Each structure stands twice: as structure tokens, then as C-alpha cells.
Amino acid sequence: MKVLGIESSCDECAAAVVEDGAWVLSNVVATQIPWHAAYNGVVPEIASRMHTEWIGGVVKEALDRAGIGPDGIDGVAATAHPGLLGSLLVGLNFAKAFAWAARIPFIAVDHMLAHLYAPRLSPAPSPGCQNPPGNTAPDYPFLGLLVSGGHSIICRADGFDDITVLGTTIDDAAGEAFDKVSKHYGFGYPGGAAIDRLAKDGDPAAFRFPLPSLRKGDHPYDVSYSGLKTAVINQLEQFRAKPRPAAAGGNAEATAGNSEAASIAASFQKTAVEILLRALFRAAEDTGISTVVSGGGVAANSLLRARLAEHQGLRCVFPPPELCGDNGAMVAGLGFQYLARGDRSPLSAAASARIKAFKRRYP
Ligand code: KG4
Ligand code: ZN
């Protein structure tokens, strides 16, 4: 079964064709990053307008690259939540119209569940393909570490749609902290990738930023980023006070040769990753589950990947970097699972800014 997946929850306008929930036949991601960069963040009005302009072309490109026409598609999946409402509506309504016109089933899916599904995808079989499905897709149950610009979730997955939240952030999301720190220091946009790059030249022990001490009685797998974010931003005054060589492009604070900037990035990144790992390792110990699947934009972080890979007691599964960020392939893959068991969404299915598909249950 070939499923068209459409993703428009934030600033990526994306569509993909995936066969049998595993083989990625095409994966087109049109990013709006340059349009939002001037504002150092996603502007919802710009995002929804651009999705409206782009969605037709992006879907056509996905079909062309898969080498099929609309009549080669057996079902359509689209992200319905969580995300920016105006943006979600563009992809969701396009998907409904496509399914209606082609007289094929339609399914609305949750964006965060789709991120968790991403490691089950593989490139279409080709010479040199090293990751056939089944080799990487872990058995249930496993722990999920879902970390993006809007969410930080540690969960237990007992099935593709049977997810229990164990812990979440009590304030900012991990990706949001990367983005805000980067914005204040002028490291670049989007912040996560910029800090990840800059941190490679820095000393992670140069600055000591605090780990959050969640109050007694708080949920043991929750995380917090507002304290770290504030501490790193407070460091900015001292950072600015020191003379340093000027850089081109107005980002005088963030030259690649500026070792202090790199050390701030490295020290922040180390602490940000530590916060996630502390909660995750605790959850692994308490549940006895030793397989971890990570997804969402922050799952592309090189330090997070390295720290998880070196952990002896855990098997960690990451999607390939191109499937960590928002994409239509994860939506199509997850959509296939629902469609294959006979689930359908009505054409009246609503978009929502909030996560809908998770059970909230603390141990
Ligand atoms: O999943 P995603 O593409 O969009 C959302 O659903 O939010 O995640 C975007 C987030 C942004 O906050 C971005 O800064 C962060 O992922 N990110 C990273 C890295 N690449 C993207 N954070 C840390 N390290 C990275 N390499
Ligand atoms: Zn996402």
C-alpha cells in the first residue's frame, strides 16, 4: 500500500510517498527557514501563507519523485495536531481534498507519534542501502525520547498508537531553549543546529550552568529548561563586555574563531543534553525498558546521539538525520499503520494546536 503523507504543522512544507509503512519512495521537504530567520522564530501568519502557496507543488514533486501519479496512491495521511493551527489546516485540508478526489481513504495523525515512528522508515531498496526495515525497528515496548521545538516528552510505547507519557517539560521545550539561547547570542537560526555546530569548537567545561532541581514530589521524569535558559542568557552581559574581533554579517558575537562563544554553546549544550538524559536514564532504570527511540528535531543533536550511543545498558535507535526534523515520510508511515488495520478519519476531522494521541499516566 502506497500512502501519501502530508506535513505542515510548523515551518516545513512536506510530502512523501511511503510503501507499506516502511519504504520511503520520495520525501520532499520545502523549508521556510529563510523566511522566518529575519524574525529569529516562526511567524505563524507567514508560515500558513507559504504552506498555501507551496503545498500543491510539494505534493506534485513527491509524486513525481516516487514515479507515480495520483492514481498510484492508496491512502492519504496528514498531520492534524499538534502545531500552528493555520499551518496545520493547509496540509490537512489539502490531504482531505486529495483523498476525496481520488476516492481513497484518509487518516489524520499526531505529529509527535509520527516522530516516534520515523526510525521504522528506510530508504527504498537500492544498492548500498544499509538499513532494511526490521533491522532498526525496535520491538515494543520501548521508551521514547521526543524532543522538538515545542515538546520534550519521555514516554513508554507499547504500540504505534499506544503511548504513555512518563515525563514532560514543566516549562520550556528542549528545542525552544536551544532556539532562545541562540537568538540572544546571535549564534544563528534555527538555534539547535547552530549551537550544535558551534559547540564542536568549544570547551563544555568552561561554564557551569545549573541542572534543574525539581521540587520534591515532582514527577521523576519531568524536565525543566527555563532555569538553564535564564542562566545562559544572564551570562550574555559578561560575554558582551569582553572585547573580541568583529565578524562580518552583524553577528560579531558568534564568529567561528571566537572560542568563548563556542564554549558557551558547548557548556549550554552539555547541560541541556544532561537534563534529558538524567530523566531518561531514570525512566529506563525504573521501567526496566532498555530500548530507546528518539525523535524530533533535537534528536539530530550530535552530543545527544553520542551520549546515548555510548551508554552500555541501552539500545538507542535514532532516525537518520534527514528524518529527525519534520517530514511527510513519518506521517505516511504512521498513517499506513492505521489504514492497514481499517481505521479511517472523517473528512470533518479537526486540526488542533495540542497533542491528542497520548495517554497521560504517571507511575
Ligand atoms: O521536530 P522539529 O523539526 O519541529 C518541531 O516539531 O518543533 O524540531 C525543531 C527543533 C528546533 O527547536 C531546533 O532548534 C531543534 O529542533 N534542532 C536541534 C538540532 N537540530 C534541530 N536541537 C539541537 N541540536 C540539533 N542538531
Ligand atoms: Zn516535529
> Does residue 187 sit within a domain?
yes
The pLDDT of residue 346 is 98
| CB of 10 closer than 6 angstroms to any ligand 1 atom | yes
| CB of 172 closer than 6 angstroms to any ligand 1 atom | no
Mutate to test the pocket of ligand 1, among 298, 307, 318 (most ligand atoms within 8 A of CB): 298
- Average of per-residue pLDDT across 143-162: 93
User: CB burial class (10 A; 0-12, 13-18, 19+) of residue 219?
Assistant: middle
Mutate to test the pocket of ligand 1, among 79, 178, 304 (most ligand atoms within 8 A of CB): 178
| CB of 11 closer than 6 angstroms to any ligand 1 atom | no
Under DSSP, the state recorded for 323 is G
Residue 292 sits in the same domain as residue 163: yes
Residue 202 sits in the same domain as residue 63: no
More confident residue, 318 or 232: 232
Pick from 149, 116, 143: which is nearest to 225 by CA? 149
Cα 296 to ligand 2 centroid, rounded to whole Å: 5
- Average of per-residue pLDDT across 32-36: 94
The pLDDT of residue 256 is 41
| CB of 75 closer than 6 angstroms to any ligand 1 atom | no
Q: Are 165 and 155 in contact (CB under 8 A)?
A: yes
| CB of 295 closer than 6 angstroms to any ligand 1 atom | no
> Would you tell me the crossing angle of helices 174-185 and 259-287 to the nearest 10 degrees?
170
Residue 38 sits in the same domain as residue 148: no
Q: Half-sphere exposure (CA, 13 Å, Cβ side) for 136?
A: 22
Cα 277 to ligand 2 centroid, rounded to whole Å: 20
Look up residue 344 and give its three cell numbers.
479511517
3-class state of residue 122 by DSSP? strand
The pLDDT of residue 35 is 95
Integer Cα distance of 23 and 120 in angstroms: 9
Per-residue pLDDT band at 237 (split at 50, 70, 90): confident
Per-residue pLDDT band at 246 (split at 50, 70, 90): low
| CB of 326 closer than 6 angstroms to any ligand 1 atom | yes
> Does residue 137 sit within a domain?
no
> Does residue 49 sit within a domain?
yes
- Average of per-residue pLDDT across 6-16: 97
CA quadruple 154, 155, 157, 161: dihedral positive or negative?
negative
The pLDDT of residue 321 is 78
- Average of per-residue pLDDT across 19-25: 96
User: Over the stretch 199-228, which tens digit does the pLDDT of each residue have?
Assistant: 999 999 999 998 988 765 568 899 999 999
| CB of 178 closer than 6 angstroms to any ligand 1 atom | yes
Cα 296 to ligand 1 centroid, rounded to whole Å: 7
Would you say residue 297 has pLDDT above 60? yes
CATH of the domain at 53: 3.30.420.40
- Could you count the other beta carbons within 10 Å of the beta carbon of residue 68? 16
The pLDDT of residue 217 is 58
Would you say residue 286 has pLDDT above 80? yes
> Does residue 254 sit within a domain?
yes
Cα 31 to ligand 1 centroid, rounded to whole Å: 13
217-222 LR contacts (CB < 8 Å, sep 24+): 218/170, 219/166, 219/167, 219/362, 220/167, 220/279, 220/282, 220/283, 220/286, 221/154, 221/166, 221/167, 221/279, 221/280, 221/282, 221/283, 222/167, 222/168, 222/169, 222/170, 222/279
Integer Cα distance of 46 and 36 in angstroms: 8
> Does residue 128 sit within a domain?
no
| CB of 296 closer than 6 angstroms to any ligand 1 atom | yes
The pLDDT of residue 245 is 55
| Percent of the chain clearing pLDDT 90 (strictly above) | 75
User: CB burial class (10 A; 0-12, 13-18, 19+) of residue 159?
Assistant: exposed
Under DSSP, the state recorded for 169 is B
Residue 216 sits in the same domain as residue 242: yes
Domain count, the chain: 2
Per-residue pLDDT band at 171 (split at 50, 70, 90): very high
Q: Are 119 and 142 in contact (CB under 8 A)?
A: no
Residue 114 sits in the same domain as residue 198: no
> Does residue 266 sit within a domain?
yes
User: Over the stretch 85-138, which tens digit does the pLDDT of each residue have?
Assistant: 999 999 999 999 999 999 999 999 999 999 999 989 987 665 444 444 444 678
Mean pLDDT of the chain: 90
Residue 208 sits in the same domain as residue 347: no
Residue 216 sits in the same domain as residue 240: yes
- Average of per-residue pLDDT across 288-312: 93
Grid-cell match 546521539, residue found: 305
> Does residue 260 sit within a domain?
yes
Residue 286 sits in the same domain as residue 218: yes
> With a threshold of 0.95, does the pTM exceed it?
no
Look up residue 245 and give its three cell numbers.
574581533
The pLDDT of residue 276 is 97
| CB of 8 closer than 6 angstroms to any ligand 1 atom | no
Would you say residue 229 has pLDDT above 90? yes
Residue 188 sits in the same domain as residue 95: no
Residue 34 sits in the same domain as residue 10: yes
Residue 252 sits in the same domain as residue 211: yes
Integer Cα distance of 177 and 224 in angstroms: 10
Domain residue limits at 78: 2-121+322-358
Residue 14 sits in the same domain as residue 26: yes
- Average of per-residue pLDDT across 300-312: 93
The pLDDT of residue 320 is 82
The H or E element that residue 147 is part of is: strand 142-147
> Does residue 363 sit within a domain?
no
